Amino acid sequence: MNRYVLRFYKKGNMRFISHLDLARLFKRAVRKGRIDVGFSNGYNPHELVNIVQPLSLGYESDSEYFEIDTMSVHDPVKLMDTLNEAMPEGLRFFDCRQIERTSQYLSNKTAYALYEAVFGLKNDSDMPDAESFLSQEHITITKKDKKTKKDVEKDVKDFIKDLSVARCEDGSAVAGMMLRCASNETLNPGKLLQSLFKYYNIDVPVEECRITRKDIFAFNDREELVPLCRYYDR
């Protein structure tokens, strides 16, 4: 079998499509395009496709990743074009390459994701200082416990690789966040913004922030943090 990784963006109204619905959409596109996708073994075989690291509902993205195993070799551009024929407005594949086929998908290799959040400020004095915020001994967020369904506090300081906040020309602010994004531990940028706003007593609902995932990163063989599109570069 052969493995291909495709990059796609998710914009506009498509930010409201869930991860499960996105997976169904891609599988329908594969079937519609008559792509000879591979299937797993076992009693209940399924298509060998994978969307790398689910994106929270309501977030846009400049660079998401979709992996597909096929029975035969495909021209990457033609494969991408075939899938794009079934994509609605706001979803588009813009890069495709054949990669090494291993037992693990790229989801098992990811380490961080870069996010950008744009939000309005009511007063100039509301401008948060990222350096001061990061200097805290603990940075906590509130999340629901999966078992008890109760709100619990979690220290996520070690999940933050970088955080910056700058003023935009139109008076709004933009936050850049490099946050943990792995198969076993992930920090939602919306939760971090809530903690940042609470620390500075800023009255900005997270729902009003425009959050975009810019790219997903992994450590390569040389222990360099690189975008997934460069993970297999030698």
Q: Give the CATH number, domain containing residue 185.
A: 3.30.70
Has residue 234 been placed in a domain? no
Mean pLDDT, the chain, whole residue set = 92
Widest CA span in the chain: 61
Query: Does the pLDDT of residue 102 top 90, yes or no?
Result: no
* 95 shares its domain with 154: no
Asked which of 55, 81, 108 is the last residue of a domain, the reply is 108
Residue 176 has phi, psi (to 5 degrees) of -105, 130
List b or e across 195-234, with b for residues whose CB sees 16 or more CB atoms inside 10 angstroms.
bbbeeeebebebeebebbbbbbbbeeeeeeebbbbebeee
**Residue 95 maps to a domain:** yes
Residue-wise pLDDT for 154-186, tens only, equals: 999 999 999 999 988 888 899 999 999 998 899
Looking up residue 57, the CATH number of its domain turns out to be 3.30.70.580
Examine the domain organization and report whether 87 and 173 are in the same domain.
no
Residue 166 near residue 177 (C-beta atoms within 8 A):
no
| Two structure tokens written together for 21 | 């619905």
Number of domains in the chain: 2
> Considering the domain boundaries, does residue 149 fall inside one?
yes
Residue 68 above 90 pLDDT? yes
Q: Of 108, 128, 156, which residue sits at a domain end?
A: 108
Torsion sign, CA atoms 72, 73, 75, 76: positive
**185 and 90 part of one domain:** no
Q: What is the mean pLDDT of residues 69-79?
A: 96
Least confident of 141-145, 174-178, 201-205: 141-145
List, in order, residues 6 or more apart from 91 with CB less than 8 Å away.
8, 9, 10, 11, 14, 25
Let me know if residue 233 belongs to a domain: no
Question: How long is the chain?
Answer: 234
- Out of 85, 108, 131, pick the residue that ends a domain: 108
Amino acid code (one letter) for 125 = S
Determine which of 56-65, 68-77, 84-93, 225-234 has the lowest per-residue pLDDT on average: 225-234
Query: Same domain for 117 and 211?
Result: yes
User: What percent of the chain lies above the pLDDT cut of 70?
Assistant: 99
Residue 73's CB: how many other CB atoms inside 10 A?
10
149 plus 84 within the same structural domain:
no
Do 90 and 115 sit in the same domain of this protein?
no
Does residue 131 share a domain with residue 94? no
pLDDT at 234 over 70: no
How many beta carbons lie within 10 A of that of residue 35, not counting itself? 19
- Domain for residue 231, yes or no? no
Which segments within 31-172 are labelled E, that is strand?
49-51, 60-70, 91-99, 110-119, 140-144, 151-155, 160-167
Contact 183, 110 (CB under 8 A): yes
Whether residues 165 and 211 share a domain: the answer is yes
Domain that residue 182 falls in = 110-226
Instruction: Evaluate whether residue 232 is within a structural domain.
Output: no
Whether 117 and 102 map to the same domain: the answer is no
Same-domain pairing of 196 and 166: yes
Q: Please, which residues have CB within 8 angstroms of residue 143's CB and are 6 or more apart in sequence?
A: 151, 152, 154, 191
Q: Are 21 and 70 in contact (CB under 8 A)?
A: no
